Amino acid sequence: MRVVIGGGSGFVGRELTRLLKSKGHEITLISRQPGPGKITWADVESGGLPPCEGAVNLAGESIMNPLRWWNESYKKDLVSSRVNTTRILAQAIAASSTPPHSWVLVTGVACYKPSLQTQYTEESEWTPFDFLSRLVKEWEAAGQLPENSAKKTRQVIIRPGAVLGRDGGAMKQMLIPFWLGLGGTLGSGRQPFPWIHLSDLAGIIAHALEPKEELSTEPDVLNGVAPALNTNFEFTKELGRTLKRPTIFPVPGFFLDVFLGSERAVILTQGQKVVPKKTLESGFKFQYPDLTSALKEIVGY
Ligand code: NDP
């Protein structure tokens, strides 16, 4: 199958590209920069979608960029980089005379309100309550295909938790402090920490690209989280154990609020118990369902 991946040059996209190529699929990336094997967003806007059977969007300004101060201009970039690219792809799919059979949009679990008790499945009702949940609402709405296109193209939304892998995302920022023995729980540590191993997220996206016989006009939602429900405390202790390093320095919540901005620090200081109910029902088998196996693979022991 030919698959077009918006933002495919990034952390998740590189793993997805590797996986799809290993299965014999052909990949074209959509990027801000032209290059071999790539087209630009402007090319899609002016020339339409290249012939393909699957389309994925992973594009977005990084939310956890420690070098960017939390301000209105950064927030604007977070929204526009996701909503505009998603809209360009959805419009190109709708305008295509040979649309792909699958359209997969990767968003996030920030739509679910942080809670120590509530468990969220893909069927849980949610209404936006803060900046990040409003972003998810607008992002997912931008990907919605008109009814006549939805009859031809399967729409899937995947909502991942923190993606854990060796060469990017949260682990890349955490490994050095943990190696130095400076790792510790964030805030109270009791908050849920929804996570997924990078290989499993790539696997879920590949699974969602498979054609489906019966199409619904509404997107299928799959939570991209491991079935293990862990807290930040459990994650911290397991990472310390795997690295054989102490984790005795808790990071106070107010420090993260000041350093990252409270609207973004919620990703670390609060969390949601998210269950991959539909993902499991769809037949997907996790390679790394628990923290021990995931962290062993990532840290290389
Ligand atoms: P990356 O930070 O690696 O970025 C993916 C790609 O987005 C980049 O390679 C880049 O492609 C493109 N991009 C970056 N900034 C902009 C911008 N301002 N405008 C347009 N395109 C831009 O993301 P990940 O691979 O980590 O994540 C993929 C998606 O999954 C993102 O939407 C992210 O929000 C979501 N997600 C990720 C999680 C994680 O832990 N990593 C957790 C939950 C959700 P290029 O330079 O080629 O244009």
- Per-residue pLDDT tens for 161-188? 999 999 899 999 899 999 999 999 999 9
Domain positions in the chain are 2-299
Judge whether residue 288 has pLDDT over 80. yes
- Per-residue pLDDT tens for 34-80? 999 999 999 999 999 999 999 999 999 999 988 899 999 999 999 99
pLDDT of residue 301: 63
Which of the residue ranges 100-104, 107-111, 125-129, 256-260 would you say has the lowest mean pLDDT? Answer: 256-260
13 lines ligand 1 (CB under 6 A): yes
77 lines ligand 1 (CB under 6 A): yes
Average pLDDT over residues 222-233: 97
ipTM of the assembly?
0.99
pLDDT of residue 4: 98
- Per-residue pLDDT tens for 128-156? 999 999 999 999 999 999 999 999 999 99
CATH class entry, domain 2-299: alpha beta
Q: Please report, rounded to a whole number, the percentage of residues in the chain having pLDDT higher than 90.
A: 94
169 lines ligand 1 (CB under 6 A): yes
Residue of minimum CA distance from atom 16 in ligand 1: 61
208, 222 Cβ separation under 8 angstroms: yes
How many Cα atoms are found within 13 Å in the side-chain-facing hemisphere of 14?
8
What is the distance in A from the centroid of ligand 1 to the CA of 113? 23
Residue of minimum CA distance from atom 1 in ligand 1: 10
pLDDT of residue 66: 83
250, 189 Cβ separation under 8 angstroms: yes
Residue of minimum CA distance from atom 2 in ligand 1: 62
Rg of the chain, C-alpha, whole Å: 19
pLDDT of residue 213: 86
Q: How far is CA 245 from each of CA 251, 293, 301, rounded to the nearest angstrom?
A: 16, 18, 14
61 lines ligand 1 (CB under 6 A): yes
- Per-residue pLDDT tens for 3-45? 999 999 999 999 999 999 999 999 999 999 999 999 999 999 9
SS (H, E, C) the chain: CEEEEECCCCHHHHHHHHHHHHCCCEEEEEECCCECCEEEHHHHHHHCCCCCCEEEECCCCCCCCCCCCCCHHHHHHHHHHHHHHHHHHHHHHHHCCCCCCEEEEECCHHHCCCCCCCEECCCCCCCCCCHHHHHHHHHHHHHCCCHHHHCCCEEEEEEECEEEECCEHHHHHHHHHHHCCCCCCECCCCCECCEEEHHHHHHHHHHHHCCCCCCCCCCEEEEECCCCCCEHHHHHHHHHHHHCCCCCCCECHHHHHHHHCHHHHHHHHCCCEECCHHHHHCCCCCCCCCHHHHHHHHHCC
